[in-house]
């Protein structure tokens, strides 16, 4: 399997609690390389666009409020089978259901404030990477 890229976001709960370094270390230990990263504060428009697939869901307004509540850290990550491996390493959406040792089991507060986002398909990984890193220098070839 070839190397591929996927997008993670250390969400405002984890970033604000000073857990970004531990989460990045966890991901590096799981075989991911950091291709690019930034610290950003999403606008309401950006958060609504990023999670547009959920706009009809009852939790959408609360999710947008959470994602705009403070800085977060998008990270472009690379390894073999990156999309599926990152989803496996972060665990289930609800930390109460996440496997032991996953990022969400270790660092998430709740189903909403769940520490990290990960792209759910190679197609979305491409779209979401461009959302934050279009035009960014990528020093890893």
Which amino acids are annotated catalytic? Answer: 117
* Dist. CA 27–CA 116, nearest whole Å: 11
Between 49 and 138, name the residue whose CB sits nearer to Mg ion: 49
* Dist. CA 9–CA 95, nearest whole Å: 16
State which residue has the least CB distance to Mg ion.
120
Asked if 114 interacts with ligand ATP (CB under 6 A), we say yes
Of these, 111, 122, 126, 131, which contacts ligand ATP (CB under 6 A)? 111
Between 43 and 93, name the residue whose CB sits nearer to ligand ATP: 93
Structure tokens at 32: 């991911």
Q: What phi and psi, each to the nearest 5 degrees, are found at residue 29?
A: -65, -25
Nearest by Cα to 112 from 72, 67, 75, 57 = 67
* Dist. CA 98–CA 15, nearest whole Å: 20
> How many residues interact with ligand ATP (rule CB under 6 A)?
10
Segment lying near ligand ATP (by CB under 6 A), choices 18-26, 30-38, 40-48, 117-125: 117-125
Task: Kindly list the residues in this chain that would bind Mg ion in the complex (CB under 5 A).
Answer: 120
């Amino acid at each position: 399997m070839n190397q591929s890229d996927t997008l993670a976001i250390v969400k405002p709960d984890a970033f604000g609690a000073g857990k970004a370094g531990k989460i990045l270390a966890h991901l590096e230990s799981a075989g991911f390389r950091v291709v690019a990263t930034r610290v950003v504060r999403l606008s309401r428009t950006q958060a609504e666009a990023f999670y547009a697939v959920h706009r009809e869901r009852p939790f959408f307004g609360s999710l947008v409020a959470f994602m705009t509540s403070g800085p977060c850290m998008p990270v472009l990550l690379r390894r073999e089978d990156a999309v599926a491996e990152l989803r496996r390493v972060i665990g289930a959406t609800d930390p109460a259901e996440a496997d032991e040792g996953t990022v969400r089991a270790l660092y998430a507060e709740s189903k909403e404030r769940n520490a990290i986002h990960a792209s759910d398909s190679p197609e979305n990984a491409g779209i979401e990477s461009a959302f934050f890193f279009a035009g960014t220098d990528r020093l890893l070839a």
